[in-house]
Every structure is written in C-alpha cells, then in structure tokens.
Amino acid sequence: MAVTEPLLRLDGVTVRFGQRAALDAVRLEVAAHEIVCVLGPSGSGKSTLLRVVAGLQRADAGRVLLSGVDQQGVPVHRRGVGLMFQDHQLFPQRDVGGNLAFGLRMHGVGRVEQQRRVAELLELVGLPEAQRRAVASLSGGEQQRVALARALAPEPRLLMLDEPLGQLDRGLRERLVMELRELFGRLGTTVLAVTHDHGEAFALADRVVVMREGRIAQTGAPLEVWQRPVDEFVARFLGFDNVVSARVSGTVADTVWGKVPVPDGSRQGERRLLVRPAGVRLQELSGVAGVDGLRCRVEGRTFRGSRVAVRLRPQEGPPLEAEVPLREVPEEGAQVAVVFAVDEVVVLES
C-alpha cells in the first residue's frame, strides 16, 4: 500500500470563512519527489491550501493525508512539513548560523551535529561563508536562501513555499528559481509552492495547479497547461486574450475574425476559441489588391526582448495580439492582413 500512496492527498477538502468557501471540495495528490506549483488570482485559495496542509487551518470537510495517514488532530510541528513564507521571518537578533541551528535544536539535534548540519545547509544554498553574518547585513536574495536553508534543516518530507521569491527583483528571481529546481531535484525534495508569477511556476514545477474561487480549474505539466488551457478563465489567467466565440465544423471555425483553422479532432459546435499570439501571422499588404486575411490596423506595440507584442484592431470583433519577431514589426497605424496558424489555435473545452 505504501508504494502507491501519494505523499500528500487532499480528499475533498473544504474550508469556509463565513458563507464563502476558500477551498471547495479540493482533491489533489502530490507524489513523492514531485514539485507542484499552485497558481491563481488573488483570493482563489492558494494560501489556504498550504495552511490546511500545514495544520495552520482546520478543514471544515474532507481529509488531508500525508503518506496515507489522516492528519486530523496532528499539530503543525508533528506533520513533518517545512514552511517558507514570503515574509521569511528570520530572527534579526541571531546570526545566520543561529537562525539555522534554532530549528535543529527544536528537533532535538545535538550541538555537534547542529554545527555540521548548519555548514552543510549553507553550502547547499550557496552561502558557505555566511555562518557568522548578521541577518540584517544580507541582501534580499541571501536572506531568501537562509530562509530556504532553515526550512530544509529538519529534512521535511514536504516543503511548502508561499511566494518564496515574492519580493526579489525579476533577474534574481529567475536565477534563484533555476537554482531551486536543481537543488530540489538533487535532494529529492517534494515541494508544494504557491506563486503569483507564471514564469516562476512554469520554470520550477513538474506540475502546475491553477485555482479559481477555491477549486482547481486545471492541473497538468507546465507545457501542457500552457499549450492547452481548458477554458477561457485559465487562458486569460495565463495572459492569453485572443479569445472569441466560434462555430466549429470539422477543421474550420467561423468567427467574427473570419475563418480560423482548428486542429484535427477539436470539439465541434458553438465554442470559445483561443488563438495564441504566436499564431497571429501578419502578411504584407503593400498596396496590392487581393491579399487574403483579416484586415487590421496596428494600434500599439510592446517590446519584450527579441519579440514584440503587436496590438491589432480588426474591423469587427475584439482586438487581437500578435507576437512578432523584432525585425518584422509593423509601424503603428499601419494596415496589415492577418492569417491564423493552426498550431496555435485551441478550441476551449467550456
């Protein structure tokens, strides 16, 4: 039995605050060594999910199981979970080593062993020289690493991170996310993390969970969710706004933007349709009559590194965003014709 049992299982967990369900009959399994990132808009229940697993929040219904054991009545410190929250609450009056040793002492680790573990943990998070440094003298990123080392110190079977890199600047976050993934992989740590940042979730996770109003809207491998958002909510949450009503028949959809090709096997009938910006292809008009495609006016351009998000206004229907390589960017105000690439078209499920 122990072989097939996931490390964490939420079995219909509901948490209510007054009339409102912050979690609504949530079912979720996390396998040992898996890194799962929970995404969702503010108020969708992400933190409540972590809190109920940690034992900081009581469930009104359902069960939380760790390695198959119901955690009802098990206090926080006996669950074997590590927590790292955004305001990482290091003890400012202790030095780095003192911060790490504290948790170990609480777990009854002897003094010599504490020293060994502290050195090992600092090595692990890339701060081998930091043991005697005052917490206040560390940069934001260094403090984050110390907080991580502290959460890892008691060797939790499940590490839970709530916006672990929330306050750091983007460059540092991107670097740390890669380091974290590598570190967790090496240690075989099982991780349940909450983040606002899609990029962070997609870089860190083996699997993402998108929440909406206390329920799981979609779960899957990052690429799968990115490529095939199930519905308009998930699509828009991921930042895809080219969504339109369509009547799908065979491999063609009729929309206000004209006919759009859809992949073989797409759901048929009245649907919502997503065209990812990479699938909105601009054609040269160059004054020649007879160019096919949807006529649009270029309304705006946002530079994103080597690619540009071009905002287009068709004669009819909602605006469109196209993703265009730098050297193909049209002028603002230009007239262009748009065709759609089938690979980037998704017929949404609901």
Ligand X SMILES: Nc1ncnc2c1ncn2[C@@H]1O[C@H](COP(=O)(O)OP(=O)(O)OP(=O)(O)O)[C@@H](O)[C@H]1O
Residue 164: closest CA among 190, 188, 192: 192
- DSSP-assigned states of every residue in 2-59: TTTS-SEEEEEEEEEETTEEEEEEEEEEE-TT-EEEEE-STTSSHHHHHHHHHTSS--
Which residue ranges make up the site for ligand X (CB under 6 A)? 17, 22, 40, 42-48
The DSSP symbol for 169 reads: -
Judged by CB, which is closer to ligand X: 44, or 189? 44
Residue 98: its H or E element: helix 96-106
- Shortest reach from residue 37's CB to ligand X, in Å: 13
Judged by CB, which is closer to ligand X: 48, or 131? 48
Torsion of CA 160, 166, 170, 175, to 10 degrees: -30
- Shortest reach from residue 161's CB to ligand X, in Å: 13
The DSSP symbol for 329 reads: P
Q: Within 10 A of 110 (CB to CB), how many other CB atoms are there? A: 10
Judged by CB, which is closer to ligand X: 41, or 154? 41
- Shortest reach from residue 174's CB to ligand X, in Å: 20
- Shortest reach from residue 54's CB to ligand X, in Å: 13
- Shortest reach from residue 158's CB to ligand X, in Å: 18
Judged by CB, which is closer to ligand X: 215, or 301? 215
Judged by CB, which is closer to ligand X: 45, or 222? 45
